[in-house]
Amino acid sequence: MVPDDIKRLRDELSLSLGELADAVGTDVRTVLAWESGDLFPTKRHSVRLVALREAGPQPKPKKKPRGKGPEPLADPRLWAVVRKLVAHPDFLDRAEQLGVEYEDPAS
């Protein structure tokens, strides 16, 4: 695909640079380089671009509305504890000991 083809595809599908980059598995800088002619898509990316064109415009998923439900990182109590953890190494040691009793949600 040549730069104009990629721009036209993005217009046809009403995709932002980021959305097209996500759809083909690359980053925005690479898509910009394709559109400017500084780079050309690899075969793998070209196949994905052609598949997108064949699939045609797709409904975009609705974004999760902000402000619904608690935002854990917005809790000022959390940041007060984080500041203490950074400032006091002994507090971090004690928090690690306490944390042994709690299940890690990432596991």
What is the rounded end-to-end Cα distance, in angstroms, of the chain?
A: 43
State residue 61's pLDDT score.
Answer: 63
Per-residue confidence at 39, pLDDT binned at 50, 70, 90? very high
Per-residue confidence at 1, pLDDT binned at 50, 70, 90? confident
State residue 68's pLDDT score.
Answer: 57
Which residues have CB under 8 Å from 30's CB, separation 6+? 21, 39
Sign of CA dihedral 66, 69, 72, 75: positive
**3-state class of 41 per DSSP?**
coil
Nearest-10 crossing angle of helices 17-24, 3-13: 100
State the chain's mean pLDDT as an integer. Answer: 85
**What gap in Å lies between CA 63 and CA 73, rounded to an integer?**
19
pTM summary value: 0.55
**What gap in Å lies between CA 103 and CA 92, rounded to an integer?**
18
Mean pLDDT calculated for residue range 72-90? 84
State residue 29's pLDDT score.
Answer: 94
Q: Name the phi and psi angles at 88, rounded to 5.
A: -125, 100
**What gap in Å lies between CA 31 and CA 23, rounded to an integer?**
11
Higher pLDDT, 93 or 64: 93
pLDDT in tens, 43-73: 999 999 999 998 888 877 666 555 555 666 7
